[in-house]
Amino acid sequence: MKILFTLKPLPKGIPGGGGCFFVRDLSQYFLDKGFDVVFNLQPNIDLIFMVDPRKNRTNNYSIDTIIQYKTIYPNVKVMYAVNECDIKRDVSINIEPLIIKTILNCNYVVFISKWLKNYYFNKYEIVRHIINKSYVINNACNLNIFKPTDNKKLNKNKIKLVTHHWSDNYNKGFYIYNKLANLLETNKSIEFTYIGRYHRNAIPRTVNYIHPISDERLANEIRKNDIYLTASLYEPGGIHQLEGMACGLPVLYRTNGGGIKESVLNSGEEFEDIDDLIVKLNKIVDNYDEYRDNIDYKFLSSERFCEEYYTLITKIILNNIVITTNEGGLANRIKSWVSCYRLTPNNKNVRVYWPILDNYETKKHILNCSFNKLFTNNIEIENLSSFQNSNDNTISIYNSHCLKIFDSDKLPINFNTFNSQCAVRFTMNDPMRRNIDFMYNKIPNELIQEYRELFKIVKPIPKLQDKINTFGSKFNENSVSVHIRSWNRKNEMGRRAYLHNVIKFEKEMMKYGAEYNFFIATDSMDVRKYFTQKSVLKDRVMLYQRITDLDTSRDFPEGVQEDLIELYLLSKNRILIGSHFSTFTEVAWWLGPNNMSVTII
């Protein structure tokens, strides 16, 4: 699975905002779990993880860029971890309209606190239906870096408070911090250290100031103190207080602190103003060890946080329903259907939308047979729109005639060298031309084996399977399957003029000794007549006795059923002579035995 993080993680030791550390921990966890993690847009990304809908110095892509990417790769899923709001700043940056736009254009929404989820639910009716299905995963920190001091002793004569912020926005708590600084002019029993960027750089002389630092240096400074103070207002979730608690410090946090309260729980006290701060500080001092013992390190751990995201994402993927909507011919539809099994680890989540095409003029194609008259797999969707509207699971659509490939298949650029050299060109869905279609034994063996197992999932209905078995019993080890596509239908003449040559097939068949016999499947009555009446090989040829007219077989359910029978009969032998540019030949090869040799004419 390939996951893109739009936000770039900061190198270790570089100070920055909480989102950068959020992404650093999570991306490394996903790498350790075997995910393919990238930070730049590229083809065939499975999940885009957004932390910021803006493009800026730390975030590579805006929501507008992601929306544009989704138009090119519609199956990509977008997860947005909402971690911002305007109320938290003294001067609004008007980010909430962009956040609402992002929520409306994402597949999954995660809030970093219950407080933030409730904030948006109560304020924006337009996204309430999405928020009702959203998730909450609280922030965390790295306990390998932020950890407590063993056997810490409290000096009640000199209580050391500490806080740290990357942002110098006034609502980060500077009203309280400045009030506290004034109090310290006369109260020498309290010491206050501020780490980070101070508002307007107006650092009071009673404050111990340390420039922005991170990781081990930051943890070491926090551990030198006794109680962590955060006076931040309307904090969406906060990481700073978590790092303080992880270092073993009880927390003083301010009323209207947003999502901070739900992370502190019984490990600290809430205060309203500077006077109440002193009251609550003394309460913590009097019960210091109890507050320290209440710190829930498991909750604080980035391991918990990463596991919750990992569980959510894998659950989403496992529950993801993949639907093929290909409206091509029989073989193209089967290829698209089988590809869906590569898009979900749960085979039960594949569905088929199989429209009946009974009028050539409507779709410039015809296939007049329902799915349940061909296959026993109980996976058909009759009404695509109704299914999509009534299903709570995530739905992906796959309608390509190309077999699905992934970057993890490690196929080289320009792997596909197929060239029809006729008026009709093969259209690939991979811009780097790595598609495996029509490449047969040049495909890596591991991929061949995987797809052959997936093709086995396709099961004809019993009535057709019985006919396949009955006729197939006539084959022996010297039987050769031959598929001759004549391209005799409407809109196929561009291929017929170049590709159809019965004599070429006959010459190839004549290379086999007298002990060999040939099962021929074709779309042309003329081809049948040639090999049963004129060819020197006529006594060695087997044909399935159809009851329908070949030239109009797709026009009637019975004709399509007999096409499917012949497709499976072609797959029964270890030697296949097939037609260039024919997916019917190609699917017969995929359905065939592992040792099937193929010659394309």
Q: With a cut of 80, say whether residue 495 has pLDDT above it.
A: no
**0.95 exceeded by pTM:** no
d(CA 214, CA 20): 12
User: Is-same-fold flag (159-300; 445-600)?
Assistant: yes
Report the DSSP pairing between strands 227-230 and 380-381: unpaired
Q: How confident is the model at residue 553 (pLDDT cuts 50, 70, 90)?
A: confident
Compare 73 and 503 and report the one with higher pLDDT.
Answer: 503
- What integer pLDDT is reported at residue 498 of this predicted model? 55
Which ranges of 7-75 would DSSP assign to H, the alpha helix? Answer: 18-32, 63-72
Task: Tell me the DSSP string of 510-555.
Answer: TTS-TT-EEEEEES-HHHHHIIIII-TTGGGEE----SS-GGGGGG
Task: Tell me the DSSP string of 80-96.
Answer: EEE---STTSSS----H
- Phi then psi for residue 502, to 5 deg, are -60, -35
Task: Tell me the DSSP string of 361-391.
Answer: HHHT--B---GGGTB----EES-HHHHHHH-
> Among 200-209, 325-334, 338-347, 573-582, which stretch is predicted with the lowest mean pLDDT?
338-347
Decide if domain 159-300 falls under CATH 1.10.260.40.
no
Q: How confident is the model at residue 253 (pLDDT cuts 50, 70, 90)?
A: very high
Q: With a cut of 90, say whether residue 395 has pLDDT above it.
A: no
Q: What is the mean predicted confidence (pLDDT) over 188-202?
A: 96
Q: How confident is the model at residue 492 (pLDDT cuts 50, 70, 90)?
A: low
Q: How confident is the model at residue 551 (pLDDT cuts 50, 70, 90)?
A: confident
Which fold, 2-136? Answer: Rossmann fold (3.40.50)
Q: How confident is the model at residue 364 (pLDDT cuts 50, 70, 90)?
A: confident
Name which of 81, 78, 75 is nearest 65 in CA terms.
78
Domain boundaries, the chain: 2-136, 159-300, 315-437, 445-600
User: Are 103 and 130 within 8 A, CB to CB?
Assistant: yes
Compare 538 and 551 and report the one with higher pLDDT.
Answer: 538
- What integer pLDDT is reported at residue 554 of this predicted model? 86
Strand locations in 390-501 (E): 395-398, 479-484
Interval 396-452: pLDDT, tens:
899 999 999 988 788 999 999 999 877 788 999 998 999 999 999 999 999 999 999
Backbone conformation region of residue 414, classed left if phi is above 0, alpha if psi is from -120 to 50, else beta: left
- What integer pLDDT is reported at residue 497 of this predicted model? 55
Q: What is the mean predicted confidence (pLDDT) over 497-502?
A: 70
User: Are 483 and 588 within 8 A, CB to CB?
Assistant: yes
Residue type, 393: N
Question: Tokens 């090119």 — which residue?
Answer: 72
Q: How confident is the model at residue 344 (pLDDT cuts 50, 70, 90)?
A: confident
d(CA 294, CA 24): 28
d(CA 74, CA 458): 26
Q: With a cut of 80, say whether residue 314 has pLDDT above it.
A: yes
- What integer pLDDT is reported at residue 359 of this predicted model? 80
Helix (H, G, I), strand (E, B) or coil at 496: helix
Q: For all residues of the chain together, what is the average pLDDT?
A: 93
User: Are 12 and 46 within 8 A, CB to CB?
Assistant: no
Interval 108-162: pLDDT, tens:
999 999 999 999 999 999 999 999 999 999 999 999 999 999 888 899 999 999 9
Interval 17-54: pLDDT, tens:
777 888 999 999 999 998 999 999 998 898 999 999 99
Q: With a cut of 80, say whether residue 173 has pLDDT above it.
A: yes
445-600: which CATH architecture? 3-Layer(aba) Sandwich (3.40)
- What integer pLDDT is reported at residue 267 of this predicted model? 97
Q: With a cut of 80, say whether residue 491 has pLDDT above it.
A: no
